[in-house]
Amino acid sequence: MMFPSICVDDHGHSCLSEVNLPQSGNERRIGAASQGVKHWQAAKYLPGHYVDFKTVEDIQFVSVMSGRIELTVSNGEKYYLSRGDMILFQDTSGQGHCTRVIGHEPCNVLIISMDDLGDFVV
């Protein structure tokens, strides 16, 4: 299964990419192998919340449960997430990314911090 990701290039610039998390199973149930988790956190951000360019402390897999988020990487490219969307943040070094909650609805997210990429294929 492909997921969007923010990674860091050789010059420390954040950029958008995709990662694959291999799935297996049968016609009734398909899933990935269990991944190691350092910790997780549920968070709520209000409309207008903004964080300027910042890295993440750990590799993070984030799922948006409500609201909308605008992410901006080093070259100015923007990526939008809304309810049901997920993204992998790999930018633990370099310039980082900007985060803005857009719209009029609070944004509820589940943040899963990981020690490493596990089975994600970059």
The reported pLDDT for the residue numbered 95 is 96
User: Which pLDDT band, with edges at 50, 70 and 90, does 13 fall under?
Assistant: very high
Residue 27 has pLDDT above 90, yes or no: no
Predicted TM-score (pTM) of the model is 0.94
- Tell me how many degrees the CA angle 104-73-46 measures, rounded to the nearest 5: 20
The CATH number of the structural domain formed by 2-20+35-114 is 2.60.120.10
Strands, DSSP E only, in 33-106? 39-45, 50-54, 59-66, 68-72, 78-82, 86-89, 97-102
- How many angstroms separate the Cα of 69 from the Cα of each of 12, 45, 86, 95, 97? 23, 10, 11, 19, 12
Residues forming beta bridges with residue 64, ordered by sequence position = 109
CB of 6 within 8 A of CB of 16?
Answer: yes
The reported pLDDT for the residue numbered 115 is 93
